[in-house]
Structure 1
Amino acid sequence: MAISYSRLIQLRLAQKCFQRSCRSVSRQRPIAASSQISKIDHKKMIEPEKKEDRVIYELPKVHVEEKKTALALFSSDTNYGIKVIEVINAIKFTPYGIRQAWDIFQEDKLLRSQVYIKERAEFLGPELATAHFLCYRGGKVRFHGQEDWITQDPDSDTLTSLPKFYVGSYKVEAADCSKMTLIYEGLENMKKMENLKWLSLESCPYIDDWCLDRISGEYGDTLEYLDIRNCPLVTDKGIASLSKMKKLKTLILGGHPEAKNLELVCLMLEDILPEITIRGIVYCDTSLLKPNEANE
């Protein structure tokens, strides 16, 4: 059947129109979906989203190494090399700077060696804890009702004569701390002793006014004998603080270069404490001086 030329052109135009209509339909989005999206966007523009006022914990991101060697056991995230450099830079490499750094190191070491151990006092009691503290550092103690002093054997590191458990009958009556490097913080280990009557601090280089004030406040009702000879840091103020010790009967002085008015302070102590006997002090006899010299 033969088709005319005009009919062929009409069929070709109809085919192109059909193809264009298919393309336009495929490009269009669904009407319901597009309207819903536009509605949601419009709502967000009108009412912004509200954030909750609470903190949400997030797990830290941990970097897990896939491969580890035996040397990874000795690795660390801290750069200790930088810390060593900071310490070295803080030291002045001069004779004075090195000496100062060494003194600071020794003071810190001494402080750590005399720190108060609460567990020891709770386990042994304050009396035996004080005895262990003093004897292990070269001191001596004597308990109530005993005549022998207890000290550490220089050839041994243990104290066989001191109990290592709580015994209520052991009460420290006398403590000899002569030539010990006892500091103010170490006195925390010598408290709550109810029967302490005799105490010697002779030649203790770190005993100062603060230490004497603490001792007088702790043992003002029990201590009867006190020896503070050759304590170079003690001044008039420290000796004057001993006036709080109402039962003090014997006080031994001498070797206090910083005490400028020692005689005057001792006269004051004798007025406040009538039963006290002060040794090591020689009063100037003003009766032998001329009137002008006595006024001076």
Structure 2
Amino acid sequence: MTPALSKYLSSGQFLSTFKCYAGSIWPRAAYITFRNYSKEEKSIYEQDEEGKKPRMAYGKPYPDWRTPWIERDGEWKTKLAIFNRKNPSPEIMNALQNLPKMDFKQVIDWWKSMKDVQELQNQKFLPERVITLGSNLAAVHFFTYRNCAVRLKGSKDWIVGSILDLHLPNTFTEGYHVEAVDCSNFHHNGIRYEGIENLNGLKFLKWLSLKNQKHIDVWCLDRIAGQNGETLEYLDISGCKLDIGCIFALARMYALKMLVITDPGIDNIELQAGISFLENERPELVIKLEAISQPEADNKIAPTR
């Protein structure tokens, strides 16, 4: 281990950062990840003050001989155990074991993996949010707070802005029927498979843009087809990663009238054949091919010597 790395690992900055990821607590972001929509949810301090509820098995009290030793009466238990709600994850234990021989590259890789975990957690579907706000208003909260734009049914104006500027209702309110969602500016690394589930329950959704979202693949399109395939009329997936499996997912969107994709090029014969098949099966569907952007085109050109 280098002296610089040893100094960084022993610093308070590293320890404070590592504590956010240790134990059972999910990574704490420097930005707002999600809101608490459930008023009944209690903190770990309130849960500890109320005491542990008796555990039941088949309607009878849990037998004492199956109770862990640390939870039995008379056993000593540190007050710091309140922060250890569950056993540490294998990733955390592996990081602690490799701490003495960790280098900068491993620290950077670990930090990137934690950011991915944080982003997945940030985009997860929250049932309590839907229970509190309803499917449509919950979708407005989710997408607008992540730099997306939302348009309601019967309106020409888009709801867009920062979390400080928007004053959205915190309880269920009539009149919020989402008709269009623009995710082309989805914050950070873009929308993922977990975030697509927040489109569920939008019975009036007709317009959706996922332009240049690098995480959109056949799994995401298949979920959209199952959730919104009966109402979605316009879909922009230009700049996304497409393969032949995406064609089968698009074919399940029976209400689709306009599809915008990136031109796969003459070299991708399989995808070209799939698009032709989709045009033959759905003659009412208009498919618009956009030219590939210059940076992507440069990446696809093999260097010559």
Q: Which moved more, 1:196-205 or 1:113-122?
A: 113-122
Taking the TM superposition and a 5 Å limit, the aligned residue runs for 1:89-100 are 89-90=97-98, 93=102, 97-100=106-109
Q: Which amino acid aligns with 1:261?
A: E
Distance 1:144 1:138, change over 3 A: same
1:246 is the counterpart of 2:254: yes
In structure 2, the residue matched to 1:217 is 226
In structure 2, the residue matched to 1:147 is 156
In structure 2, the residue matched to 1:159 is 166
Distance 1:256 1:99, change over 3 A: farther
In structure 1, the residue matched to 2:193 is 184
Which residue of 168, 180, 187 maps to 2:174?
A: 168
In structure 2, the residue matched to 1:115 is 124
Contact 1:142–1:150, Cα closer than 8 Å, also in 2: yes
Contact 2:264–2:272, Cα closer than 8 Å, also in 1: no
Unaligned runs of 5+ in 1: 1-54, 66-71, 283-296
In structure 1, the residue matched to 2:239 is 230
Give, in whole Å, the separation in 2 of the partners of 1:267 and 1:236.
11
Q: Which moved more, 1:91-100 or 1:113-122?
A: 91-100
RMSD over aligned CA atoms reads 3.4
Give, in whole Å, the separation in 2 of the partners of 1:235 and 1:136.
31
In structure 1, the residue matched to 2:31 is none
Give, in whole Å, the separation in 2 of the partners of 1:170 and 1:245.
24
Give, in whole Å, the separation in 2 of the partners of 1:255 and 1:268.
16
Give, in whole Å, the separation in 2 of the partners of 1:77 and 1:229.
45
Which residue of 256, 259, 262 maps to 2:271?
A: 262
Contact 1:141–1:172, Cα closer than 8 Å, also in 2: yes
Deviations 1:18-51 (A, max 9, x none): xxxxxxxxxxxxxxxxxxxxxxxxxxxxxxxxxx
> The residue matched to 1:280 in structure 2 has which SS?
strand
Q: Which amino acid aligns with 1:164?
A: N
> The residue matched to 1:261 in structure 2 has which SS?
helix
Unaligned runs of 5+ in 2: 1-62, 292-305
How much has 1:255 moved relative to structure 2? 6.5
In structure 1, the residue matched to 2:134 is 125
Contact 1:204–1:230, Cα closer than 8 Å, also in 2: yes
In structure 1, the residue matched to 2:46 is none
Deviations 1:172-193 (A, max 9, x none): 0000011321111112221011
Aligned residues: 215
Distance 1:147 1:84, change over 3 A: closer
Distance 1:188 1:76, change over 3 A: closer
Contact 1:228–1:252, Cα closer than 8 Å, also in 2: yes
1:206 is the counterpart of 2:215: yes
Contact 2:263–2:290, Cα closer than 8 Å, also in 1: no
Give, in whole Å, the separation in 2 of the partners of 1:240 and 1:128.
31
> The residue matched to 2:212 in structure 1 has which SS?
coil
Distance 1:77 1:107, change over 3 A: closer
Taking the TM superposition and a 5 Å limit, the aligned residue runs for 1:1-40 are none
Deviations 1:222-275 (A, max 9, x none): 1110000111x3322113310011111110011669965222111111112111
Give, in whole Å, the separation in 2 of the partners of 1:114 and 1:165.
20
Q: Which amino acid aligns with 2:74?
A: V
Give, in whole Å, the separation in 1 of the partners of 2:129 and 2:81.
37
How much has 1:76 moved relative to structure 2? 9.4
Give, in whole Å, the separation in 1 of the partners of 2:178 and 2:202.
7
How much has 1:102 moved relative to structure 2? 2.6
Distance 1:111 1:256, change over 3 A: farther
Which residue of 240, 261, 272 maps to 2:281?
A: 272
Give the share of equivalent positions with the same residue, in percent.
Answer: 33
Contact 1:175–1:198, Cα closer than 8 Å, also in 2: yes
Distance 1:77 1:174, change over 3 A: closer
Contact 2:263–2:289, Cα closer than 8 Å, also in 1: no
Which TM-score applies when normalising by structure 1?
Answer: 0.63
Contact 1:234–1:259, Cα closer than 8 Å, also in 2: no
Larger radius of gyration: 1
In structure 1, the residue matched to 2:47 is none
> The residue matched to 1:252 in structure 2 has which SS?
strand
Which TM-score applies when normalising by structure 2?
Answer: 0.61
